[in-house]
Amino acid sequence: MKKRETLATILATSVAVALAVPALAAGELNLLTWEGYADESFMSKFEESSGCKVNATYVGSNDDFAPKLAAGGGVYDLISPSADTTGLMIDAGFVEPIDTSKIENWDNIYEKFRSLDGVQRDGTVYGVPYTWGAIAFMYRDDKFDTPPTSLAELFDPKHTGKVALWDDKSAIYVAARLNGDTNIYTLSDDQIEAAKERLIAQKPIVRKYWATAGELVDLYAGGEVYISNTWAGYQSSLLADKGIKVTEFIPEENAEGWMDSWMIVKGNENLDCTYKFINMQLSELGQCGVANVNGYSVANPAAAKTCMTPEQFATLHQDDPDYLDSLLMWKPLGERLEVYTNAWNAVKAQ
């Protein structure tokens, strides 16, 4: 039996036990999601108009979804994993099909997102695309006379104690690209080992492996860090609000791209509020809400065009979704997921 099948079997068993616990009352939605996706600036308007109360639990990595769902006791109604994780949610039996006839803006979502494996499986829809963007890199303007252009800058000892890296298996992708291995989703054992060793060598100069957007913002604001990777558009905007000038960049070794979708957790008994919520998130309120809070691009360009300035629309590549093709779009790792994850954990254990 393949490792992927073993993992799916274990998770499916776990969720069956978890879902045996009664769900919370209808009219109250519980989200397992990313920071900013349930921001008060637009969520309060939804709650007032719909009568549905929204509670959010935040993740710091896509690797958080499976264990939290398996142990969640039927708590969560909706999740928003990225494109490399949606397939695992389907395989594990965590999510249920979506009735697209109830999704008002379904046909307005970029077709390339609607047809992605993990959004659809064998003609059945399991995910509603929401946001997308890049895992870019960022530096404080006042710390660099010459703007950095390469990942090598994050590994240079001259920046000892001032480097931060996301606490996520994608750190393996970063080190692999610096090693010249651009096949980051199909790395061999030797390539993964080489990436691991490069990260271990980097570790003495790293100030912190950051887990949340707020944690990275605090590191920059406190002067503890001045170069890192970043969720493009989000932390930089939060730092701008604090008067700290930073610049994002796509290094010559390229960057990863991602797309997040809303998925309905199996056993969800709050479907009325669930579909109201998804429809809000694809509307002008939800699409420009998250774009303004997180700085991310969104999945429904028709809604975005009605509420964004032409400059914002262009900056977020809403008129050019093929921009993602220039990035290394996250892909499922399948049975290799455990190998990548173990390598990253081995780095942190050093």
Strand pairing of 28-33 and 78-79?
Answer: parallel
The pLDDT tens digits of the residues spanning 266-291 come to 999 999 999 999 999 999 999 999 99
Strand pairing of 256-265 and 328-329?
Answer: parallel
Lowest mean pLDDT among 114-123, 147-156, 163-172: 114-123
- Read off the pLDDT of each residue in 58-84 and give the average, rounded to a whole number: 92
Centre a 10 Å sphere on the Cβ of residue 234 and count the other Cβ atoms it contains: 21
- Cα angle at 73 between 83 and 339, to 5 degrees? 40
Given a contact cutoff of 8 angstroms between Cβ atoms, the answer to whether 135 and 213 are in contact is: no
Who wins on pLDDT, 275 or 5? 275
- Read off the pLDDT of each residue in 104-120 and give the average, rounded to a whole number: 94
Who wins on pLDDT, 38 or 4? 38
Percent residues over pLDDT 70 in the chain: 92
pTM score over 0.85: yes
Residue in the structure block whose two tokens are 């009568």: 51
Facing residues of 227 across strands? Answer: 139, 163
Residue 73 banded pLDDT, cuts 50, 70, 90: low
> What are the structural domains of the chain?
3-132+258-325 (3.40.190.10), 133-256+333-349 (3.40.190.10)
The DSSP line for 227-246 is EEEEETTHHHHHHHHTT--E
Give the pair of three-digit tokens for residue 213: 């957007």
Give the pair of three-digit tokens for residue 312: 């914002």
Helix (H) or strand (E) holding 260: strand 256-265
CA distance 232 to 250: 10
Percent residues over pLDDT 90 in the chain: 88
